[in-house]
Amino acid sequence: MIEISFTQIISTILLMLLGIAVGAQVAPIMSWVERRQCAIIQRRLGPNRVGFFQFRLLGLGQPIADAIKLLFKEDFVPPYVHKVFYVLAPVVPVATGLAVTVAIPWGSHVVVNNQIINLQAVNLNSGFLLIFALSSLAVYGVTLAGWSSNNKYSLLGGLRASAQMVSYEVAMGLSIIPLVFIWGTLDLQTMITKQSEILWGFLPNWGFIHAPISFFVFIVTIFAETNRLPFDLAESEGELVAGFLTEYGAMRWSLFFLGEYSMMFVMCVLTVSLFFGGYELPWLSQHYLLEILTPQVGEVLARWVLLPLGIIVLLTKVILLMWIFVQVRFTIPRFRYDQLMKLGWIYLLPIALINLIITAIITAIVKFH
């Protein structure tokens, strides 16, 4: 029987709250970033007036103004919708998007009351499988919204989202299996630790270098999984007015975007953890820094000193990846629906499958020799 101490319970709760707090702040911050970046690309000003008191601060107060507007906006429910499912639908993507944050590895571990505390709220040997399992549930909210709105545009948007999720999750899963062969584990913490090593004496031992094809397939599929342009066919205003969002407004409308941005954040964290070393600094691993700091301050304090460094490194990598999401949104035009399906089934699936077979063969040869 596994004994769980009070310290472990408190640390797990705090790590969960950290993940939820960060995930909830992604939506307002990214809404400002996207509008500013869009303005830069299109040579416009973007939000630049709403600030605090007399300070405009590049319009950083705009997300707060938007939140206040949405909170006090009339919450109109059309009389012809299936009300229970209509109300429930926006909650599903938010709940799943924030729940997935519990699997984020913020660092290695620290020592509290002579107990080792793993800096991952839910420490499973199959960490990224938990993320996949929870993230796949988000589409139920979109599908429910499309059906319960009792609107043809909404229904088509929900059906598109379901088909898109099925089409791209297959390729996504196949793109990750080569990394399992390479690292020999499903545990995100172990994968990150192995990526802290040096390859060929000068390169970081990142998953991207070992499996570049897996990375490119995975990055395309997470665009589709999060309904981001050029894969936002479930809400394409040129064809479906607003797709599954047609009958939603006020805070119900914003909950869908909170879920989308939370899932986008978690998928970026997963990408960084699988392919770019997670919280490990390239060429200066936490193990190396720990050896330097331990004689000076002791191992316990040294791990606490390295904790904020690991979080900063992780968030810096994630921010760079999310900035690429923004760039792609305002650079590549939206696909037609037949092009989206063709890309998923005709191109990405065979590429991921061939990559899996080749990696398995190479890994087997290296292992037995």
**Which range in 71-75, 96-100, 160-164, 318-322 is most confidently predicted, on average pLDDT?**
318-322
CB 280 within 8 A of CB 192: yes
Interval 333-355: pLDDT, tens: 888 888 888 998 999 999 999 99
Q: Who has greater pLDDT, 212 or 47?
A: 212
What DSSP letter does each residue of 70-107 carry, written as one string?
Answer: HHHS-----TTS-HHHHHHTTHHHHHHHHHGGGG----
Give the pLDDT of residue 318.
93
- In this prediction, residue 126 has a pLDDT band, given cuts at 50, 70 and 90, of low
CA distance 220 to 20: 25
Q: Give the number of C-alpha atoms closer than 13 A to the C-alpha of residue 338, restricted to the C-beta side.
A: 0
Q: Of 1-5, 198-202, 252-256, which gets the smallest average pLDDT?
A: 1-5
Listed in sequence order, the DSSP H helices in the chain are 6-41, 62-72, 83-88, 91-99, 127-135, 138-148, 152-183, 188-194, 207-210, 212-225, 237-240, 250-275, 286-297, 299-329, 337-342, 349-368
Does the pLDDT of residue 182 top 70, yes or no? yes
Give the pLDDT of residue 241.
64
Does the pLDDT of residue 243 top 60, yes or no? yes
Q: Give the number of C-alpha atoms closer than 13 A to the C-alpha of residue 120, restricted to the C-beta side.
A: 25
Does the pLDDT of residue 1 top 50, yes or no? no
Give the pLDDT of residue 351.
95
- In this prediction, residue 215 has a pLDDT band, given cuts at 50, 70 and 90, of very high
Give the pLDDT of residue 173.
87
Does the pLDDT of residue 155 top 50, yes or no? yes
CA distance 369 to 241: 59
- 207, amino acid identity: G
Mean pLDDT for all residues in the chain: 85
